[in-house]
Chains A and B, each alone.
Chain A
Amino acid sequence: MWTLVRQESFKLTRRVSTWVSTAFLVGIEIVFAFLSRVYPQTFVPANMFESLYFSRPIINFYMIAATATIITMEFQYGTMKQVLYRRYSRGQVLVSKWLAIFFYTFYWYVMSTGIALLMKALLFRHTLSIHQGAGDGMSIFTRGLAISAASFVSLWLLLSVVFLLANLFRNSAAAVSVGIIGYFASNIVTQLLTILIQKWDWAKWNPVTMTLYPSMLSHPGYYQPLLRMQGWQMLLGNVIYIAIFLGIGYYVFNKRNV
Chain B
Amino acid sequence: MSSILSVQNLNKSFGNKHVLHDVSFDLKPGHIVGLVGPNGAGKSTLMKTMLGLFNYDSGSIKIAGETVTPQKHESLSKVGALIEYPGIYPFLTGWDHLQLFADGDHQLIHIQKIISQLNMDSFIKRKAKGYSLGMKQKLGIALALVNFPELVILDEPMNGLDPEATKELRDLIISESQHGTTFLISSHILSELQRLAQDLLIIDEGRIVQQTTMHELLASQGKQTIMLMTSDDKKARQLLKKARFKTTPDPRVEVVATDDNTMPEVLRLLVEGGVDILDVTRLEGNLESSLLEVLKQSRIQKRLAEEEAE
Q: Identify the A interface with B (CB < 8 A).
A: 7, 10-11, 14-16, 73-74, 77-87, 89-91, 254-255, 257-258
Please indicate the chain B residues that have their CB under 8 angstroms from the CB of A11 in the complex. Answer: 89, 92, 100
- Distance in angstroms from A79 CB to nearest chain B CB is 3
Type the 1/0 row for B13-30, where 1 means its CB is closer than 8 Å to any CB of A.
010000000000000000
Query: Which B residues between 34 and 84 are near A, CB-CB below 8 angstroms?
Result: 48, 51-55, 70-77, 79, 81, 83-84
A78 touches B48 (CB 8 A): no
Task: Determine the distance from Cα of A71 to Cα of B73 in the docked complex, in whole angstroms.
Answer: 21
Indicate whether A77 sits within 8 Å of B100 (C-beta atoms), given known contacts A82-B143, A87-B76, A258-B48: no
B88 touches A85 (CB 8 A): no
- Distance in angstroms from B15 CB to nearest chain A CB is 11
Task: Determine the distance from Cα of A74 to Cα of B87 in the docked complex, in whole angstroms.
Answer: 8
Please indicate the chain A residues that have their CB under 8 angstroms from the CB of B70 in the complex. Answer: 90, 254-255
16 extra interchain contacts, Cβ-Cβ under 8 A, other than A87-B77, A89-B72? A14-B92, A77-B89, A78-B84, A79-B89, A81-B83, A81-B87, A82-B86, A82-B101, A85-B53, A86-B77, A86-B103, A89-B71, A254-B70, A254-B71, A257-B14, A258-B54
Task: Determine the distance from Cα of A73 to Cα of B90 in the docked complex, in whole angstroms.
Answer: 10
With both beta carbons as reference points, the residue of chain A lying nearest to B82 in the complex is identified as A82
B71 touches A91 (CB 8 A): yes
- Distance in angstroms from B201 CB to nearest chain A CB is 20
B51 touches A7 (CB 8 A): no
For the complex, would chain A's binding face be called helix, strand, loop or mixed by DSSP majority? helix
- Distance in angstroms from B161 CB to nearest chain A CB is 18
Please indicate the chain B residues that have their CB under 8 angstroms from the CB of A84 in the complex. Answer: 51-53
Task: Determine the distance from Cα of A89 to Cα of B68 in the docked complex, in whole angstroms.
Answer: 10
Q: Tell me which of A14, A16, A80, A257 contacts B87 (CB under 8 A).
A: A80
Q: Tell me which of B55, B84, B90 contacts A77 (CB under 8 A).
A: B90
Task: Determine the distance from Cα of A78 to Cα of B72 in the docked complex, in whole angstroms.
Answer: 21
Task: Determine the distance from Cα of A194 to Cα of B2 in the docked complex, in whole angstroms.
Answer: 66
Q: Identify the B interface with A (CB < 8 A).
A: 14, 48, 51-55, 70-77, 79, 81, 83-92, 96, 100-101, 103, 143
Please indicate the chain B residues that have their CB under 8 angstroms from the CB of A80 in the complex. Answer: 87
B76 touches A86 (CB 8 A): yes
With both beta carbons as reference points, the residue of chain A lying nearest to B75 in the complex is identified as A87
List 6 contacting pairs A-B, 8 Å CB cutoff, sorted by A.
Answer: A11-B100, A14-B96, A84-B51, A85-B83, A86-B77, A87-B76
The 9 closest A-B CB pairs, nearest first, are A79-B87, A87-B77, A78-B87, A85-B51, A258-B53, A87-B74, A82-B87, A257-B54, A89-B72
B85 touches A78 (CB 8 A): yes
Please indicate the chain A residues that have their CB under 8 angstroms from the CB of B48 in the complex. Answer: 81, 258
With both beta carbons as reference points, the residue of chain B lying nearest to A7 in the complex is identified as B100
Please indicate the chain A residues that have their CB under 8 angstroms from the CB of B86 in the complex. Answer: 78, 82
B91 touches A14 (CB 8 A): yes
Please indicate the chain A residues that have their CB under 8 angstroms from the CB of B55 in the complex. Answer: 255, 257
Please indicate the chain A residues that have their CB under 8 angstroms from the CB of B75 in the complex. Answer: 87
B100 touches A15 (CB 8 A): no
- Distance in angstroms from B293 CB to nearest chain A CB is 34
A77 touches B88 (CB 8 A): yes
Task: Determine the distance from Cα of A77 to Cα of B89 in the docked complex, in whole angstroms.
Answer: 6
- Distance in angstroms from B152 CB to nearest chain A CB is 12
Please indicate the chain B residues that have their CB under 8 angstroms from the CB of A87 in the complex. Answer: 73-77, 103
